Structure 1
């Protein structure tokens, strides 16, 4: 499903010949569940739980993938992708196996065969590419309305769950202060203790503002005809096809949610963190999305309030105290400064709505 540029990104750590051969043998075993005359097998992604192969067949290339998700979640996403492809949305179609099933189970994992999509990744420093990728996201959201998982497949949704998630996050940020106090000689921990309290308070205030907004009303409306959110949309999971079609790939993490969840995850990490809020880029991304899927003023206000929550700062702190990743104090200080800049710009925006 990925072109050469993306293949290079996932192949930075090279497999040993023995590791590669083991994965090729696995693919040879799995692909026997499908009716294909196999010519050659390439390992595209082999060092993660989600394995990807490019299978060259007499009918052209196809993609074999091992889904790295619990089976019930995998079935939700597999059926969602099949629904979208059959509807005509630009996602890779799923090729059924010999038993006309969308997947083959081998051990604890589900394996799926997709159409191979040729294309290039988007370059997000290029305005034209940025506009296209946002339009592709809007098209994905609108196309996904109407999906209902088959009987027996659980529904995965985040609709209405933002408040609880936010409470958990700011409580964790408060709890991590105790870990920082145990490291009096660590510059990161001391910088954290000296600056974190105002951000925890703003996170609490953001939750209050979210509950006072149209969030709950919007959730109630969307539940009637929910759309899917990709949850991991970006340049690694989208491609520009040869005829300027925007393809969305890697739908493993989809769930029902307000569309602005994907917008927040796309927009906020891309804005300038060098001391200036990039208003032009912010507007470019939002305008491009709305050219396909307009948002009401109240919906945009909900989005701006959600964007106020210090998600980027939270991720840095979690990396340090949960995953135990060594981080420089400058990384934390830059995250603090970004949240200050973001807060000022978004509060000005909210005041206009």
Structure 2
């Protein structure tokens, strides 16, 4: 249970109104509108995230949800061993991934963010969050876990719709995974990791519609940097593309629009397209859904899981067509 009086005391604010909003609290305070959030990771990781946002702000990139400091000058409050952050509430609307112009604006802003992130040295007391060099082993591990989950479903005496459909479809997605891993291993991935290390840049790692807030003049504000880390920018680009493309039936023209918009700000190197292609090809959404189902990671009903898997399977034809078109378009 959150104690509002403790939040008020530690952040030196007066809460006039508090309203739950999509996993956070929207506060009206004597110091303006704020976003209160309970975080699920430790203080050292939070200090990496805090440092990243402060670094952007100091470089003149202010359109982020800046953290408020507590009375001790720290970006968090400790309440009953829970960690809370308080940040600026950014007014505006979420980016609409069905609108080409808004997607283009968001793609350009992602390039700006990546450029502005260069040179970030995390605070000494923080924990460096990094996935550099990890993706080949992560992909390999996740491909193997698809087999483990298939074995789990086969052993079930009471198989549900999800289990039966998973057993039927897993080979298709394993093949995609192996192909993606092979492409990544034969790409310039490790050289790009080295370049990112030298540049000291970082990725947002959750650049999706609800974290891209557009104001009335279509300026982009980026919020929720909780997952940001050292990472090759191809990850952010491919992740953003997937979030858009799954909403527009894997239309190749949307992919071209995104990459053209990104390139207009920060041109990609030839080798980066292979890495983007590997990320696009890897069945991350399928793996994550199965992982959530077999390891009880989220509290969804059986029907929800079955419907989500069915939705993924329904995309197969459009996805394969897209992959072939992308391969030809970018010579990967």
Which category describes the TM-score, using the shorter chain as reference length? Answer: 0.7 to 0.9
Deviation at 1:183, TM superposition (A): 4.2
**Does the 8 Å contact 2:153/2:167 carry over to 1?**
yes
1:61 matched to which residue of 2?
Answer: 33
2:176 matched to which residue of 1?
Answer: 202
Deviation at 1:174, TM superposition (A): 1.0
1:40 matched to which residue of 2?
Answer: 16
Residues 140, 200 of structure 1: alpha-carbon distance in 2 compared, 3 angstrom cutoff = same
Correspondence 1:338 to 2:315: yes
**Does the 8 Å contact 2:26/2:89 carry over to 1?**
no
Deviation at 1:279, TM superposition (A): 1.2
Matches within 5 A, 1:230-309: 230-272=204-246, 277-309=250-282
Correspondence 1:220 to 2:197: no
Whole-angstrom distance in 2 between the partners of 1:313 and 1:154? 30
Question: What is the DSSP-based 3-state SS (H/G/I as helix, E as strand, rest coil) of the residue aligned with 1:92?
Answer: coil
1:349 matched to which residue of 2?
Answer: 326
Runs of at least 5 residues in structure 2 that lack an aligned partner in the other structure: none
Whole-angstrom distance in 1 between the partners of 2:291 and 2:11? 43
Whole-angstrom distance in 1 between the partners of 2:166 and 2:84? 44
2:123 matched to which residue of 1?
Answer: 150
**Does the 8 Å contact 2:47/2:125 carry over to 1?**
no
**Does the 8 Å contact 2:252/2:325 carry over to 1?**
no
Matches within 5 A, 1:90-239: 90-183=63-156, 186-239=160-213
Whole-angstrom distance in 1 between the partners of 2:316 and 2:282? 9
Whole-angstrom distance in 2 between the partners of 1:82 and 1:264? 26
**Does the 8 Å contact 1:271/1:282 carry over to 2?**
yes
**Does the 8 Å contact 1:118/1:242 carry over to 2?**
no
TM-score (norm 1): 0.82
Question: What is the DSSP-based 3-state SS (H/G/I as helix, E as strand, rest coil) of the residue aligned with 2:34?
Answer: strand
Whole-angstrom distance in 2 between the partners of 1:39 and 1:175? 49
Whole-angstrom distance in 2 between the partners of 1:316 and 1:62? 33
Whole-angstrom distance in 2 between the partners of 1:273 and 1:102? 36
Whole-angstrom distance in 1 between the partners of 2:25 and 2:146? 36
Runs of at least 5 residues in structure 1 that lack an aligned partner in the other structure: 1-21
Deviation at 1:117, TM superposition (A): 2.2
Whole-angstrom distance in 2 between the partners of 1:197 and 1:272? 21
Whole-angstrom distance in 2 between the partners of 1:92 and 1:332? 34
Deviation at 1:144, TM superposition (A): 1.4
Q: Which one of the candidate residues 71, 81, 88 is aligned to 2:60?
A: 88
Residues paired across the two proteins, number: 324
Deviation at 1:65, TM superposition (A): 3.2
Residues 79, 105 of structure 1: alpha-carbon distance in 2 compared, 3 angstrom cutoff = farther
Whole-angstrom distance in 2 between the partners of 1:294 and 1:39? 46
